[in-house]
Amino acid sequence: MTRLNPKNPILTAIDKNNLSEAENLVSEVGAASGGIKLGKEFFTSFGPQGIQQVAGTQTPLFLDLKFHDIPNTVAGAVRAATRALAPNMMTIHASGGAAMIRAASDAASEFESSPWILAVTVLTSMDDSDLTSVGVNSTASDQVLRLARLAQENGADGVICSPHEITTLRAECGPDFKLVVPGIRPTGSDHGDQKRVKTPAEAVADGADYLVIGRPITAHEAPATAIQNILESLN
């Protein structure tokens, strides 16, 4: 497991569903990134072997599979992923409940190099009206806080949250609880399907630990340069 560099908070989301293109992209951005994120679509296409082939051993790995199942199954999945891939961090859904979160956290702690267990609160593609449509009678902000507290109480290392909840969660959950934030769009970037966004500088100033950034980097004509520009904006 490659150590995370807290001075480089950028986790580049490798949004390629082509193995050779993904390898080429990681070879270009891996050294410039604080880590790379590989998720469900890539994993479903290429499995653990594809993750190993693309991620290598030199760049920290954020494995974003968002486990959500009964506690025993999620614990087994965390163990299997840690043995096979040694990720620095991986995701579960906080809405799986206290027992599931605890099972995932306990499973991760069995390893000498334990991955962070990060609980997904409310997807950044969802807003208040989306929550209402699935029967959640809370605002997105209230639901995020509720699930973050549940995650912290049951051993999760941190949460995935939108930029708009960073300040509240940092105040409520303290300085050591990890906040990993998608929905980051540099000034002038297209928001795409993200509804709750901020710039990288705004998110870090609010208290984000790591920023998940995809298309503004991977669609850039010079992805490594895009990363460098973002890092300079943070300074």
Token digits of residue 199:
């710039």
Strand locations in the chain, DSSP E? 10-13, 35-39, 61-67, 89-93, 116-120, 158-160, 178-181, 210-213
Residue closest to 206 by CA, chosen among 196, 192, 216: 196
Residue from 7, 37, 40, 66 carrying the catalytic annotation: 66
Is the distance from CB of 144 to CB of 121 less than 8 angstroms?
A: yes
**Cα 186 to Cα 203: distance, rounded to the nearest angstrom:** 11
- Helix 140-153 to helix 166-173 angle (10° resolution) is 30
Let me know: does 75 contact 106? Beta carbons within 8 Å.
Answer: yes
Is 7 noted as a catalytic residue in this protein?
Answer: no
Catalytic residues: 66
